[in-house]
Chains A and B, each alone.
Chain A
């Protein structure tokens, strides 16, 4: 079965600093990968997704992610973090065993210091 690992439970960065959130997946074939953001008290919002093609994917709010098959990774990056980026971030992989089930990582909570 597919699985997603987000090694960092909590990350703190200063406003204006760069950000990288790590995500590793376990899946035999080419995965469909996603990053979602959850602000406090809110549902999840899709930041970006990767299905195929260019391994560097651009998303909303200035985020990007790079798919690296050799490392089974799909890390999320942002060159300059804003205070409004403080939230919890979830990486997910689509179960391609015939269902549309999303398998989520445990999430990384981002704190942004002024």
Chain B
């Protein structure tokens, strides 16, 4: 059945290294969301795209984070350089946007640990 996939599922890296997380949205979905989940802050929206164009990235630290959609089947979230405070689970979600509301389907997440 159709589902959002994310890679890698787990990533351990050292402070200062570049981290790239990938998301494959459900085929046909035109909206992709990136969320971050931490114990302290809970689930926060970092950014989201519609038809590959960024609509809102106000939740994303601009100095080190970047999000792109090279094509309709791939969304990436990059952190450069990474810091220990970036340790979190990063979720991608996709949906059919542009209407009153459509369900967001979540991927399994990427657990990032920055040492």
Contact = CB atoms under 8 A, between A and B. Distances in A.
Interface of A: 32, 36, 41-46, 49, 51, 90, 94, 99-102, 104-107
B23 to A, nearest CB: 11
Interface size class of B (residues with CB under 8 A): 20 to 34
Given A41-B108, A101-B45, A105-B42, 8 more contacts: A42-B109, A43-B109, A44-B43, A46-B104, A51-B100, A100-B48, A100-B95, A106-B42
Nearest to B100: A51
Interface of B: 4, 31, 33, 42-45, 48, 55-56, 91, 93, 95, 97, 100-101, 103-104, 106-109
Contact of B101 (A32, A36, A43, A106): A32
Query: Interface majority SS on A: helix, strand, loop or mixed?
Result: loop
A43 B43 contact: no
Given A101-B45, A102-B45, A94 B103 contact: no
Given A43-B91, A106-B42, A51 B101 contact: yes
